[in-house]
Amino acid sequence: MEEIPNTHTARTGCLHIVDPALCVLGEKRIPHKARNVASARRFVRDVAIEWNAAEDIPEIAELLTSEIVTNAIVHGAVSLTTRPPVHITVMREGKLMVVETCDSSSEIPRIRNVASMESSGRGLAVVKELSHNWGWLPNPHGKSVWFELVAWP
């Protein structure tokens, strides 16, 4: 992957105080249910295609979205009786596509060390490996988790 300087100062943090360098390409809210992860994947893939992202970016964005949305659903708002929707935003920052999910959990996302026979727990390691950069930000309602992909020349 091409090396792009990490110049951003902050993501939206789900507050939609958008840096002028960021352009929101699409937003979607999905109910806090596992069956809706597929909808989020398709949404991000379709946005990447519609905005003419580089050849392999739609599929990579789809995979990484699946990982961070699944984490938001599995780990977000587990103690609440009514779980707020997961918010997904796709943005462009120069050459970078930024995908951000917001959930109502303040739990810090961590890359786990997983035994070879375990069937889950590798999602953030995949995000770290395949993205240009990734991270998380706290917000007044929980947190946002984001990743970047070099998507445009």
| CA separation for the pair 131, 146 (Å, rounded) | 10
Q: Which residue has the higher pLDDT, 67 or 17?
A: 67
Q: State the pTM of this model.
A: 0.83
- Is the pLDDT at 37 greater than 70? The verdict is yes
Predicted local confidence at residue 4, as pLDDT? 43
Highest mean predicted confidence (pLDDT) among 14-23, 86-95, 116-125: 86-95
Whole-angstrom Cα distance, residue 100 to residue 147? Answer: 7
Instruction: Name residue 23's beta-bridge partners.
Output: 92
- Give CA–CA dist 91/71, Å, rounded: 20
pLDDT tens track for 98-110: 999 998 888 888 8
DSSP 75-113: HTTTT-SSPPPEEEEEEEETTEEEEEEEES--PPP-PPP
- Average pLDDT of 87-92? 96
